[in-house]
Amino acid sequence: MLNFVIFGGPGSGKGTQSDKLISRYGLHHISTGEVLRGHIARGTELGITADSYISKGQLIPDELMIRVLASVLESEPEKVKNGVIFDGFPRTIEQAKALEELLAKYNSTVHAVIGLEVPDEELVERMINRGKLTGRADDNIDTIRQRLSVYHNQTSPLRDFYQAEGKYHAIDGSGDVDQISERIHKSLSDKLPGLAEK
Q: Looking at beta carbons only, is 14 or 169 nearer to Mg ion? A: 14
Q: Looking at beta carbons only, is 28 or 192 nearer to Mg ion? A: 28
Residue with smallest beta-carbon separation from ligand AP5:
33
Half-sphere exposure of 38 (CA within 13 A, CB side): 8
- Residues in the chain, overall count: 198
Q: State in angstroms the smallest separation of the CB of 194 from Mg ion.
A: 28
Give the residues lining the site for ligand AP5 (CB under 6 A). Answer: 8, 10-16, 32-33, 36, 53-54, 57-60, 65, 88-89, 91, 95, 126, 130, 147, 177, 180
Answer yes or no: 159 catalytic: no
* Residue 117, strand partner residues: 172
Answer yes or no: 37 catalytic: no
Measured CA to CA, the distance from residue 34 to residue 16 in angstroms comes to: 13
Measured CA to CA, the distance from residue 89 to residue 100 in angstroms comes to: 12
Q: Which is the catalytic residue, given 79, 126, 147, 183?
A: 147
Q: Which is the catalytic residue, given 14, 79, 126, 167?
A: 14
Answer yes or no: 81 catalytic: no
Q: Looking at beta carbons only, is 178 or 193 nearer to ligand AP5? A: 178
DSSP string, 125-170: HHHHHHHHHH--TT-SHHHHHHHHHHIIIIITHHHHHHHHTT-EEE
Answer yes or no: 145 catalytic: no
Q: Which is the catalytic residue, given 20, 97, 136, 159?
A: 136
Question: 108-143: buried (b, 16+ CB within 10 Å) or exposed (e) per residue?
Answer: bebbbbbbbebebeebbebbeeebeeeeeebbeeeb
Give the residues lining the site for Mg ion (CB under 5 A). Answer: 14-15
Q: Looking at beta carbons only, is 37 or 111 nearer to ligand AP5? A: 37
Q: State in angstroms the smallest separation of the CB of 123 from ligand AP5.
A: 8
Residue pair 52/36 in contact by the 8 Å Cβ criterion = no
Q: Which is the catalytic residue, given 67, 81, 105, 130?
A: 130
Give the residue numbers annotated as catalytic, written as ranges.
Answer: 14, 91, 130, 136, 147
